[in-house]
Structure 1
Amino acid sequence: MPAPIAVENILRDVLDDVAAREAAVSFQDVKARSRSMAPPRDARAALLRNGCSVITELKRAVPFKGPIPYLDSPHSMANLAANLEDVGVHLMACQTEKRRFHGSLEDMAAVREATTVPMICRDLIVDPYQIHEARCYGADVVPLQVALLEQSRLESLLDRIESLGMVALLEVRNPEEVDRAIQAGGTVVGINAWSVTSDALHREAIADIVPGLPESVIRIAVGGVQSPKELLSYASLGADAIMVGESVLRAQSPSALARSLVATGQHPACPSRKV
């Protein structure tokens, strides 16, 4: 297993990149532009369908595993997103982080333009500038990694996301982080099976976490889905939606696997709950 990446290094890189972008476009300018955008798409409705909704995560590379070759051209992300929407995917998540995932905000804007479903900005969000920036490029949902944020900053960023009409997705990995997410006022929680700093996967996290969540909280299982079998397992443990990335992207036919996941999640036999 490759050596873990230090959290401090990840956060330093994020802040360095934000500072460079802010030097080019001021916070006041990006803030004003974000408030003039058309209203966000309805992510909550997409997450609260009967059965288990499917979110596909689009990224040009995977840390520790390298680039995804067929996604290296300018229009490849948008073309793939359009194909995935055609087979019924309910939301898209686009990696915008450059250093580890080779992503960009321009990728997210292109994916949004090519589709009609709600858009999740996949990045490490630690600064208010990023939230306004994400709205400018088409985000409807913005994630917050609970493990990486002090409580006051977590609550402040959540409030800013919601002030722009977007949904805050609070990502957690253990019951302690769940308590902090609920304290912050989170209503949509992503139970992430992947470590922040390594390629370690803990699919059992959802079983540890769901019992501590209020019934009203929307639950998204993030990571570890390779086939309809895992979708059904997560749904049986209380997931309202699953987010799947690499297994779809590296499948022989990404559209075929996505179609199978959507069909399984919408089948009457799929466990479901009402929120």
Structure 2
Amino acid sequence: MLADLTAGALSDARQREILRPLAQVEAAATDAPPALDALSALAPADRVKIIAEVKRASPSRGDLADIPDPAQLAVSYERGGASAISVLTEGRKFKGSLDDLVNVRESVGIPVLRKDFISIPYQVFEARAAGADLALLIVAALDTKTLTELYGLITDLGMTALVETHSADELERALDLGAGLIGVNARNLSTFELDRDLFGRLAPQIPSGVIRVAESAVLAPADVAHYREAGADVVLIGEALVTNDPILTLGEFLAV
């Protein structure tokens, strides 16, 4: 599944590149206002921090929410206490778009993450041109050379990479990059199986000074508490927020 999602996102990016060449996107990325400091926004605190996600659908759950106005939802997230907003821009399975990201960035004052299956520099430049402050890199989808090059480009453009891992080996590769923001996803993106305790097993291997993000398997405050007790500084939440009252639900999660 991960290979299919990455290949599909790459194909779609190549189609966009025909209409908007790399040089044009590079120029737009260079001209964009500076990225916000996501590491400061997500730095460890007395309470857990939340990256709230704009998420219409997923391959594992199908349609989740219509979300006709992603910007309005993002504003609700910000009012509810989210520290950053994640915007799914993959169109085939998650029904997102770069337009969603642009609209969200224009509407909130907190960092915005482009969450997609990034595998080429064009997608990184797109993210910055659209106003992203963070970009997702999935270790399982990238060879070491590509991972290193994309991480360097994200950093050079002033953004922060959220480096996502699913195993001890992938975590080691993320640490080798010098990543300051590392996610552990409970969902195996190859099989889509969930392992709620994966974060707890890997977190002790993440050194102090690196921000720990727990991803997936969050439906209730107890799930946030589970991750917080295991050492999570930040929890990324999508489904539970788009299928419930976002402000009320955020309040319950942040009270953990």
TM-score under structure 2 normalisation? 0.95
Tell whether the 8 Å contact from 2:90 to 2:96 is kept in structure 1 after alignment: yes
Tell whether the 8 Å contact from 2:184 to 2:199 is kept in structure 1 after alignment: yes
SS at match of 2:31: coil
Q: CA deviation at 1:201?
A: 1.1
SS at match of 1:189: strand
| Root mean square deviation of aligned Cα | 1.3
Q: What residue in structure 2 maps to residue 220 of structure 1?
A: 213
Aligned structure 1 segments of 4 or more residues deviating by more than 3 angstroms:
none
Tell whether the 8 Å contact from 2:51 to 2:235 is kept in structure 1 after alignment: yes
> Which stretch of structure 1 is more off in the superposition, 220-229 or 197-206?
197-206
Q: Is 2:246 aligned against 1:254? A: yes
Q: What residue in structure 2 maps to residue 117 of structure 1?
A: 110
Q: What residue in structure 2 maps to residue 267 of structure 1?
A: none
| Aligned residues between the structures | 255
SS at match of 1:98: coil
Cα distance in structure 2, aligned partners of 1:146 and 1:198: 15
Cα distance in structure 2, aligned partners of 1:66 and 1:77: 18
SS at match of 2:109: coil
Q: 1:45 aligns with which of 22, 40, 49?
A: 40
Tell whether the 8 Å contact from 2:39 to 2:180 is kept in structure 1 after alignment: no
Tell whether the 8 Å contact from 1:53 to 1:242 is kept in structure 2 after alignment: yes
Cα distance in structure 2, aligned partners of 1:91 and 1:261: 15
Tell whether the 8 Å contact from 1:155 to 1:185 is kept in structure 2 after alignment: no
> Which stretch of structure 1 is more off in the superposition, 128-137 or 108-117?
108-117
TM-score under structure 1 normalisation? 0.89
Which whole-Å deviations, capped at 9, do the CAs of 1:52-72 have from their partners, x for residues lacking one? 11111111212232223441x
> Which stretch of structure 1 is more off in the superposition, 130-139 or 224-233?
224-233
Instruction: Mark the CA change 1:160 to 1:200 in structure 2 (over 3 Å): closer, same or farther.
Output: same
Cα distance in structure 1, aligned partners of 2:227 and 2:64: 26
Cα distance in structure 1, aligned partners of 2:7 and 2:40: 36
Cα distance in structure 2, aligned partners of 1:15 and 1:70: 25
Aligned residue runs from structure 1 range 23-42, under 5 A: 23-42=18-37
Cα distance in structure 2, aligned partners of 1:171 and 1:24: 30
Q: What residue in structure 2 maps to residue 66 of structure 1?
A: 62
Q: Is 2:10 aligned against 1:15? A: yes
Cα distance in structure 1, aligned partners of 2:166 and 2:77: 28
Give 5+ residue unaligned stretches, structure 1.
265-275
Q: Is 2:255 aligned against 1:263? A: yes
SS at match of 1:191: strand
In our comparison, the structure showing a higher alpha carbon Rg is: 1
> Which stretch of structure 1 is more off in the superposition, 197-206 or 175-184?
197-206
Instruction: Give the fraction of aligned pairs with identical amino acids, expressed as a percent.
Output: 33
SS at match of 2:106: helix
